[in-house]
Amino acid sequence: MGKVKIKRKSTLIDMTAMSDVTVLLLTFFMLTSTFLQKEPTIVYTPSSVSEEKVPVNNLVTVLISSADKSGKLEDPSAVEGKLFISFTGDADSTFSSEKIRQMMLKEALTIYNDQHKNAPVSLTNGQIAEFGKINMFGVPFRVLPEFLSMSITERDKFQGDMSNPKVGIPIDGNKNRDGRLNDFQIWLKAIYNVAQTINNDQTAGLSPEEAKSVQNLYAALMRQGEGIAVKADKDTPFTTVQQVFDNLQTMKLNKFSLMTALKSEDEPTQ
């Protein structure tokens, strides 16, 4: 009797094809996606039929925090309406985000100290340089020195805690009788001034290419109104958003955009 021979098959699986597929997938993801920007709080923007894309460069985003949705807080609206600002400069020019942010901070500080002569805020050069690296921030001027001397992780933790009264750019006191601007208005004014100085004075000594990107920045920020985008949660009450609108109007920035997600016309809105 002959024994039945069981053929031993090699268990080696050829992974080359698999590897090919994963590399293709990887390439796809790398080319089509953009990195998520770190934001201190998550908001879900409402959807709209508008198809205009958010500009990648030269954008000022104003983020309005939403009410607490986790249900952990007794008063969910306590964390609502905190303001954060982020500046994005031109990606490939001499006016990178970092440089623009530093210019804006210096300008804003000058305005602030001019209005608060009794309690001026001063920052070291190192702190100003540190500010250039922050994508989105939301602290009052008086907290800036403390905020900028923190490490990155500490800063994220600090900003992420919406119930902290030190978080959020102060916006109350619109149209003060004594003409004093609130922190949010000072930032807006600084942005406006920086865009204008760049446009007026500095175009002279620049190469045509640089001058063009400066003009783009100015146009984006000020003229077309694409430069300022308000980002708020869909469940945020209008009154909270209105406050921001009102401040923008006071600063004569009547043209701006609202961040939305895309939906089709046929989709029911309710």
Partner 1 sequence: MAQIEQSDGGKKKKGAQKKMQIHVDFTPMVDMNMLLITFFMLCTTMIKSQTLQIILPTNEDVKKEQQAQAKQSEAITLILDTEYEGDKPKVDAETGKTVHNIYYYEGIADTTFSTPKYLRREQFIGNQNHQPQGIRKILRAKNEQVMEEYEKLKTQWKNKEITKEEFDQLAKKNAADSAKTRPVVVIKPGPNTTYEGLINALDEMQINQISRYSIELPHHTDTVLLKRYEQEHGETIIRPTIRKK
Tokens of 223: 């003229």
- In angstroms, how far is CA 224 from the centroid of its own chain? 19
DSSP 223: I
Which listed range, 126-134, 158-166, 201-209, 249-257, lies at the site for partner 1 (CB under 8 A)?
Answer: 249-257
**3-state DSSP assignment of residue 196:** helix
* From 8, 9, 32, 122, residue interacting with partner 1 (rule: CB under 8 A): 32
Which listed range, 94-102, 189-197, 208-216, 230-238, lies at the site for partner 1 (CB under 8 A)?
Answer: 230-238
Considering the rule CB under 8 A, would residue 54 count as an interface residue with partner 1?
yes
Give the number of residues in contact with partner 1, rule: CB under 8 A: 69
Residue 231 is which amino acid? K
93 contact partners, CB below 8 Å, separation of at least 6: 209, 210, 213, 214
Strand partners, 231: 63
Min dist CB 177 to partner 1, Å, is 14
Q: How many CB atoms lie within 10 A of CB 261?
A: 10
Strand partners, 137: 85
Min dist CB 261 to partner 1, Å, is 7
Residues 61-100: x/- map of binding to partner 1 (CB under 8 A)?
------x--------xx--xx-------------------
Strand partners, 84: 63
**Contact footprint for partner 1 (CB under 8 A):** 12, 14-19, 22-23, 25-26, 29-30, 32-36, 45-54, 67, 76-77, 80-81, 225-226, 229, 231-242, 245-246, 248-250, 252, 254-262, 265-270
